[in-house]
Amino acid sequence: MSERLSRLLEILAVFGAAAVIIVIGLPLAGENFLAGQLVIWVANIAMISIVAIALKRRGESWAHFGIRPIKNWLRLIGASLLAFVFAVAAFVLGSIVMANITGIPESADMTSYEFISGNLPMLLLSLSGIFIASSFGEEFVYRGFLTTRIAEMMGGHKHAWIWAVVISSLVFGLAHYTWGPMGIGQTTFMGAALAIAWIKAKRNLWVVIIAHAYMDLILMVQMYLS
């Protein structure tokens, strides 16, 4: 089997497993928001697990996708703050672009998050799950794994990495289809910014994991205070 085909099969296995879990799990969750979120988290954990298995099978370490020992926390925090600002700016740009294409949507319905409002234990429990499945999981799968594998499949040269960023960001945006057209556009732009920040940080994945965690933390704290 060629290396290109092998990498493609890895990608299909990772996202195929997540798709199966979501297609089966979400209908079972029905209108239960927490059950629906649990399905998404399980899908993310499944993707992380399959990527880890693929790494072991290839004899590669997690460092191949940017999970390396942290040597300078101060520099890491500074880089993650820059990545955070860049990602937020891209998210806003995505909002502007999509508003000009689809029009300005109604305000997002956040009533599903009412269980967090004023409930500190639930906030902390939700954050722990989000940090693992979203902050870490999405960056590991979409930036570390998917972008790297696409670039490798395309030869690993400069243009390959550019196309890898574009394709992985589009996949990341489409993965947020439940957010509607606006959400797909926002997360596509944000994903591209995080991918660029990751590459500029010499593919240190902790930079974008922490940047993503800032965004998740701000969102959840807003729900807690609402």
pTM (2 d.p.): 0.92
CA angle 44, 186, 172 (to 5 degrees): 30
CA 68 to each of CA 83, 120, 217: distance values in angstroms, whole numbers, following the listed order: 18, 32, 23
- Cβ atoms of 166 and 199 within 8 Å: the answer is no
pLDDT one-digit tens code per residue, 96-118:
999 998 877 766 556 667 778 88
* 175-190 mean pLDDT: 92
**Buried-state track 7-25, b at ≥16 Cβ within 10 A, e below 16:** beebbeebbeebeebbeeb
% of the chain exceeding 70 in pLDDT: 96
Query: CA-to-CA distance for 87 and 157, rounded, in angstroms?
Result: 25
pLDDT one-digit tens code per residue, 16-26:
999 999 999 99
% of the chain exceeding 90 in pLDDT: 73
Is the model's pLDDT at 51 over the cut of 80?
Answer: yes
